[in-house]
A = this chain, B = another copy of it.
Amino acid sequence: MSASPATHPLDPLTVEEVQTAAETLLEDIKCTAAEIRFKVIDLAEPPKAATLQHLHHKGPAPDRKARVYYHRRTSPSLLIAIVNIATRQVEKKYDAPDSQGPVDWEEFELVNNACNNHPEVQAEIAKLKLPPNARVLNDPWAFGTDDANERRRLFQCYMYVALNDDPEANHYSLPIPLAPIFDAHTLELVELQRLPMGAGDELDPETQPWTPVQPVEYSASIMGEDGFRKDLKPLQVIQPEGPSFKILGRHVEWQKWSFQLGWTLREGPVLHDVQYDGRPLFYRVSMSEMTVPYGDPRSPYHRKQAFDLGDSGFGLTSNSLTLGCDCLGHIAYFSGVRVTGSGKPVVMPNVVCMHEIDDGIGWKHTNFRSFKSSVVRNRQLVVQCTATVANYEYILAFVLDQAANLHIEVRATGIVSTMPIRQGLQVPWGTVVAPGVLAVNHQHIFCARVDPILDGDSANTIAYDECHPVINEPDLDPHGCAFRVKTTPIDRPGGYELDINKNRTFKIINEARTNAVSGKPHGYKLHPVPSQMLMMNPNTFNFRRGVFTSKAIWVTKYQDNELWASGEFTNQSREDTGLAIWAKRDENVKNEDVVLWHSFGVTHVTRPEDFPVMPVEKFVMSLKPANFFELNPSNDVPRSNQGVNKSTLHAVEPENCCRSSRI
């Protein structure tokens, strides 16, 4: 194992660093590895001021530090340590007995096994009279919150059946009406909760024998060759001269862009120190949080509300990617590191992929007199991960293009969360997506975090433009055709709403820098994803645990460590300790170090078409320059031409020839 020094203060922890952090902590607390369970070891990011001093002004590199979540095996109480890796010292150590840390794989496995092996659970399963080939599985779910006084660490184990041994058997197609609750610390059965099969909370008096039904499968081996369409021809992407990107460590350069590719267990990929043509744009761009409340009042579904970053982690649940599946073309991979319960670093290979794509036409103009065309294709760089959070998949991508746009794209796919339902019944809370299978309607609300540093100046402003018609100014506008842009700078933190009817557009501006051509301040505007916000009322736990879901736009003044929209600990949380607090501070945010947050998502009214695996729903938010450049930043992209593109012509059979071309 080589001792490689960190090359960038915001790089993820290395294997060695994770190991050092674990060892340092164990020494400090005088414990053996067997006495505690490590949950998370991730980079504790250095203060922004020191980091910028180092990156842009040759200041010293800040010390590498780790944030460690752990607990003693004898107690469920969450412990937190900040470990200085450079000095091998524990700098801070505190407990958070009222908070639950995220799920870790070890406890997940323990709960999973406890449920499967528990005699009472098995006795209940026996009542189902399952066929002999049936395998019973359970997915331990974050318990959620319906009681402000609950302090136990609980998991709700939703249970399913698989009727074969296929590694991709779709057990979500065969939910059974059992959802035992386990204490993750004691591994005791807290309640053998049964699930309603009807429209209301009432249960069958007794668990009934299972009604045989065919699962809807997606496994290629189960479906067999005849299950597939035959007429899809291969489509390949080749880059005969290699990619246009350069990678040095985790520093990426591509088409005038540069950034440091961070990664955390919580967020997955993170972009640091994003620059275009040597001009700083963003200090940090990340997906900050995502929550999924389910709109079903029946117990225990009323409690179902996952925070898939805070409870689980897009990094921790990221797939190890392989060539030819998630991307076409020439692919670079980046790995991550997690820690085992006993403090051993584990490499997570290929959790992030990077490649170029062609997104059609980037710009085009044809001179209608000369018929001469210039076309530039829209080449993009995609930095992507897939997080599998039990049944569901999120594909998160940062997409850069040559017109200096930065897009954050989410594709929602995977298998919708399923509940059993009496066959033939419909309930108002969702759609029957397969026989005996209810997919409850739910919301996914994401929150992206954009920490700008336009032109390298920490003092930026968030403002919004609105377009208003000129009204009742007949001298100015006798024909009533005029409209004006009204710009409102935001000077106080808070949550703000989109307003499409006014074309309200939020933008980051640097009031100190004026565009030489337009005379307007340098800026980047947000193209949002207009979405229904959280439907639940402010007095619900759904709302109080994730206040970010209530407004599309949030503005806060930067403070170190304020990275996650709902606060640090979301698992079984009772109150949001993030934006709910930070956005309430009475402080100036105009011409300050400011952070822009965008909440967006979807209210998913489920369809049979979403089952067994759901076709992607794609959401794209974009950051686009507005008066930041003096002309189209992609004006200098080489023009598209057949010599390079080598497209091929579809020969039309004479008898099928486009008839109109016969002159």
Report the count of interface residues on A (CB-CB < 8 A): 207
Q: Which residue of B lies closest to A277 (CB)?
A: B229
Q: Is the CB of B374 within 8 A of A324?
A: no
**Once the chains bind, are B481 and A336 in contact (CB under 8 Å)?**
no
Q: Which of B12, B347, B607, B627 contacts A518 (CB 8 A)?
A: B607
Q: Given A228-B636, A239-B236, are A540 and B481 also a contact pair (CB < 8 Å)?
A: yes
Stretch of A121-129, A177-185, A428-436, A566-574 at the chain-chain interface:
A428-436
* Chain B residues in 8 Å Cβ range of A207: none
> Are B469 and A648 in contact, CB atoms less than 8 angstroms apart?
no
Q: How far is the CA of A485 from the CA of B616 in the complex (A)?
A: 22
Please tell me which one of the listed residues B223, B297, B364, B372 contacts residue A482 in the complex, with CB atoms under 8 A apart: B297
With contacts A361-B616, A609-B633 taken as known, whether A469 is within 8 angstroms of B535 at the C-beta atoms is yes
CB <8 Å contact, A323 and B642: yes
Residue A44 is within 8 A (CB to CB) of chain B in the complex: no
Pick out which of these stretches binds chain B: A87-95, A189-197, A245-253, A450-458.
Answer: A245-253
Q: Which residues of B contact A320 (CB under 8 A)?
A: 371
Q: Among the listed B227, B240, B405, B467, which residue makes an inter-chain contact with A532, where contact means beta carbons less than 8 Å apart?
A: B467
Instruction: Tell me which residues across on chain B come within 8 A of A294, comparing CB atoms.
Output: 481
Which B residues lie within 8 Å of A345 (CB)? 663
Residues facing B in A517-540 (CB within 8 A) are 517-520, 530-533, 535-537, 539-540
Q: Whole-angstrom distance between the alpha carbons of A228 and B482 in the complex?
A: 39
Q: Would you call the interface of chain A mostly helix, strand, loop, or mixed?
A: loop
Contact in complex: A236, B240 (CB < 8 Å) = yes
Query: Judging by beta carbons under 8 Å apart, are B386 and A635 in contact?
Result: no
- Chain B residues near A326 (CB-CB < 8 A): 361, 364, 375
B227 in contact with A615 (CB, 8 Å):
no
Whether A637 lies near B229 (C-beta < 8 A) is yes
Stretch at the interface among A70-78, A409-417, A578-586: A409-417
Q: How many copies of the polypeptide does the oligomer hold?
A: 2
Considering only residues 116-149 of chain A, those with a C-beta below 8 Å from chain B are 137, 146
Q: Which residues of B contact A333 (CB under 8 A)?
A: 649-650, 658
Interface presence of A470 (CB below 8 A): yes
A60 within 8 A of B: no
Give the one of A15, A373, A614 with max B CB within 10 A: A373
Q: Which of A326-377 contact B (CB under 8 A)?
A: 326-337, 345, 347, 349, 354-358, 360-375, 377
Give A464 Cβ to nearest chain B Cβ, in Å.
12
Does A56 have its Cβ within 8 Å of any Cβ on chain B? no
What are the residues of chain B within 8 A of A648 when measuring CB–CB? Answer: 238-239, 323, 329-331
A235 to B6, CA, bound (A): 34
Q: Report yes or no: A403 in contact with B615, Cβ–Cβ below 8 A.
A: yes
The chain B residue with its CB closest to the CB of A469 is B535
Q: In the complex, which residues of chain B have a beta carbon less than 8 angstroms from the beta carbon of A441?
A: 467, 483, 485
Question: How far, in Å, is A618 (CB) from chain B's closest CB?
Answer: 8
Most buried by B among A240, A295, A370, A414: A295
What are the residues of chain B within 8 A of A649 when measuring CB–CB?
323, 330-331, 333
User: In the bound complex, how far is the Cα of B386 from the Cα of A375, in angstroms?
Assistant: 11
Decide: B247 and A656 in contact? CB cutoff 8 A: yes
CB pair A370–B167 under 8 Å, yes or no, is yes
- Residues of B near A641 (CB, < 8 A) are 324-325
Contact in complex: A613, B635 (CB < 8 Å): yes
Binds B, one of A29-37, A47-55, A266-274, A388-396: A388-396
Report A376 CB to chain B, min CB distance, Å. 8
A216 CB within 8 Å of chain B: yes
In chain A, positions 234-289 with a C-beta closer than 8 Å to chain B are 234-244, 247-250, 255-256
User: From A318, which residue of chain B is reached at the shortest CB distance?
Assistant: B366
A433 neighbours in B (Cβ, 8 Å): 517-518, 631
Check if A233 is an interface residue, CB within 8 A of chain B: yes
Roughly how many angstroms separate A481 CA and B367 CA in the complex, as a whole number? 58
Residues of B within 8 A of A250 (CB): 658
Q: List the 5 closest pairs (A to B, CB-CB), nearest first.
A: A324-B642, A167-B370, A332-B650, A403-B615, A297-B477
